[in-house]
Amino acid sequence: MKHILALVTLALLSVTTYAHNPNAEPPTKKMKATTSVQHIVLFKFKPETTPEKLKEIVAAFEALPSKIKEIKDLKWGLNNSPEDHAHGLTHAFILTFDSVKDRDAYLPHPAHKAFGTIVGPWIADLTVVDFANQGK
């Protein structure tokens, strides 16, 4: 019982020490630099793009990981930001690659090129940004 009481006391002291010391640094999770690459694609579609066409485009994008082994992950969603900075971009896709080499293999891949022929006629604007975590 004394051991438990001592542990609880130490835990409370460490919490209150941080809470009452305005100069104390909050605990942070260290981020490590990585070789993986995030490939972010943002689309603005032409006004005449129908909901059916958008479903076809999204389905074609979602199929890419099954056709291109270098894609390690795919996430996508619709813009829902309350800030007015999207410039009409509505759909966001994030592809993850293990390396720049894998990303570079994806770009000319026939399945990626075929997707471009599906989506290309419907794009009003497009933004692409790639990055690797720089870490601390």
CB 114: neighbour CB atoms within 10 A?
Answer: 13
Q: What is the pLDDT of residues 19-69, one digit of tens each?
A: 455 565 555 556 556 789 999 999 999 999 999 999 999 999 999 999 999
The domain defined by 37-131 carries CATH number 3.30.10.20: no
Looking at the chain, which runs of residues are DSSP E strands?
37-45, 71-78, 91-97, 123-131
Domain positions in the chain are 37-131
Q: Whole-model pTM above 0.85?
A: no
136: pLDDT strictly greater than 70: no
71: pLDDT strictly greater than 60: yes
